[in-house]
Amino acid sequence: MKLQKILSRFLRLHPKEIDLSLNRIINLCKKLGNPQDKIKAISVVGTNGKNSTIQACYSILKEANIKCNVYTSPHIQKVNERFVFNNQELKDDELADLFEEVEKVNNNQPITFFEILTACYFYKAAQYPENINLVESGLFFRFDATNILKKNLATIITSISKDHLDWLPENEQTIEKIVFEKTSNLLNSNIIVAKQNQNTMNYIKKNISKNQSNKIFFNEDFSFTNGENGYFYYEDKLGGLKLPEPNVLGLYQLENISTAIVTLRMLDLSVKDENIEIGIQKINNTARLQEISSGKLKNLVKDNLFLISGDHNEDGARVLNDYLQSLDCDKHIIIGMMANKDHESYIGYLKNISSITTVDIPSQPNAISGKKLKDKFNHLPNVKYAESVEKAIKSIELNRGDLLIITGSLYLCSEVLNLN
């Protein structure tokens, strides 16, 4: 209750009009003693795969007995998920104490919710100067609150695609502009670029051409290939590895994992091959093609495969469809989305779907209603609306061997996990 009250106060500090600048976070961190200057960080920017890449790095580093601090967003079930220090998520009372300390220093000055949370993270992280910090950027990066570091160990650029377009003027809603916002202000250290489509990769290379960092590109400096009998093959300039398939679903996760591996090997953090082998089988990837294997909602699905995946943009839909098409079964989708997403494009990527059920996302005023979403999908076969996730599951006729997946929003996945 105390923690929730503080978070409510943080939300009330949000300025009525947001100017795209770093002034608020810089001013607050200056009052806190510039904690961001005292940490060792790997920054992760991009559209898709940021959290998955961080979780792969984190799992491998833990196997190597390397202490980490981890900052990710958004949280799925509770805000504590954003604040991991010394390989442990902060408890409610610890987080409340941290928030109150920073809140007092901020002294009711206008600041966004993400900015003050980021300041809290940096302030706490500075207490562990030897730890590796894995820091996920927010929407874009040029004016993102995480972009106040003066130095870092590396920047990882994950897959970049169209998302959050409402933050850009209509005439600038292009991949070229998004790449500029995410990569034009990277620090001079090491830049690792994950797999991209060719046009996006060309824009990235052009945008970072004057950056003096050591640059590592997928397919040029590292790669992977699918293997057989539960293995895949990874290769970079240090040599090749035959690795067991990870504990996460989807071919795209091998892209994220390979990006994590090359980063940690290149930084020479004393990570051994066996740390990688074991670490990639212990990745915690909440709401990213996550199998729900028990709980109240799982009981309704019975023995059928039940997945949740918070994909919500075109690129996310594309890789989700790649996974779904690899399965020989009937596929049923329950979907809810935020209002500012490209709903028709998202659903258009998902092929050979047996049924689609739209739902509302509770407690999310910026979500599109399930009824309006159904209206947008009416040109597709077998589309209906249900008042809740539970009613949606009960309304679907699942045969033995069918798959049920809930997708379209991380907020919807949060609702599912809380209900289950």
16: pLDDT confidence band, cut at 50, 70 and 90? Answer: confident
Mean pLDDT of the chain: 94
Residue at 250 is within a domain: yes
% of the chain with per-residue pLDDT over 90:
88
Tens of pLDDT along 390-405?
A: 999 999 999 999 999 9
For residue 218, give both structure tokens: 């997928």
By the 10 Å C-beta count (0-12 exposed, 13-18 middle, 19+ buried), 40 is classed as middle
Cα–Cα distance measured from residue 257 to residue 231, given in angstroms and rounded to the nearest whole number: 13
85 lies in the same domain as 150:
yes
106 found inside a domain: yes
Question: Is the model more confident about 238 or about 168?
Answer: 238
Number of domains composing the chain: 2
DSSP 377: T
Same domain, 132 and 198: yes
Domain end marker among 251, 279, 307: 279
Chosen domain end from 279, 305, 322: 279
278-288: average pLDDT: 96
Query: How far from 97 is each of 25, 103, 123, CA to CA, in Å?
Result: 20, 10, 12
How high is the pLDDT of residue 105? Answer: 98
Predicted confidence (pLDDT) per residue in 172-182, tens digit: 678 888 898 88
- Look at residue 284 and tell me if it is in a domain: no
* Torsion angle, alpha carbons of 190, 241, 86, 100, to 10: 50
Chain centroid to CA 200: 19
Residues 82-103: what's their mean pLDDT?
98
Please state the rounded mean pLDDT for residues 3-20.
Answer: 88
- Residue 115 sits in the same domain as residue 23: yes
**How confident is the model over 50-62, as pLDDT tens digits?**
999 999 999 999 9
Q: Find the CATH number of the domain harbouring 385.
A: 3.90.190.20
- Domain boundary at 216, 245, 279, which? 279
**Residues for the chain: how many in total?**
420
Q: Which residues pair with residue 45 across a beta bridge?
A: 157
In angstroms, the CA 208 to CA 162 distance is 19
Task: Judge whether residue 114 has pLDDT over 70.
Answer: yes
Q: Would you say residue 31 lies in a domain?
A: yes
Q: Is residue 57 part of a domain?
A: yes
DSSP letters spanning 272-313: -HHHHHHHTTS---TTSSEE--SSHHHHHHTTSEEEEE---S
Q: What is the DSSP string of 195-232?
A: ---HHHHHHHHHHTTT--SEEEEBTTTEEEEE-SSSEE
**Are both 240 and 137 inside the same structural domain?**
yes
Res. 66: pLDDT tops 60: yes
Judgement on whether residues 106 and 244 belong to the same structural domain of the protein: yes
With 90 as the cut, is the pLDDT of residue 348 above it? Answer: yes
Query: Is residue 285 in some structural domain?
Result: no
Q: Are residues 229 and 103 in the same domain?
A: yes
Residue 141: its pLDDT value, please? Answer: 66
| Backbone Cα Rg of the chain | 21
Asked if residue 199 and residue 87 are part of one domain, the reply reads yes
Fill in the DSSP letter of residue 46. S
Please answer whether residues 231 and 245 qualify as being in contact, where contact means their C-beta atoms are separated by less than 8 angstroms. Answer: yes
The model's pTM: 0.94
| Residues 273 and 294 reside in one and the same domain | no
- Structural domain boundaries, residue 353: 290-419
My answer on whether 354 and 251 are in the same domain is no
210 and 81 in a single domain? The answer is yes
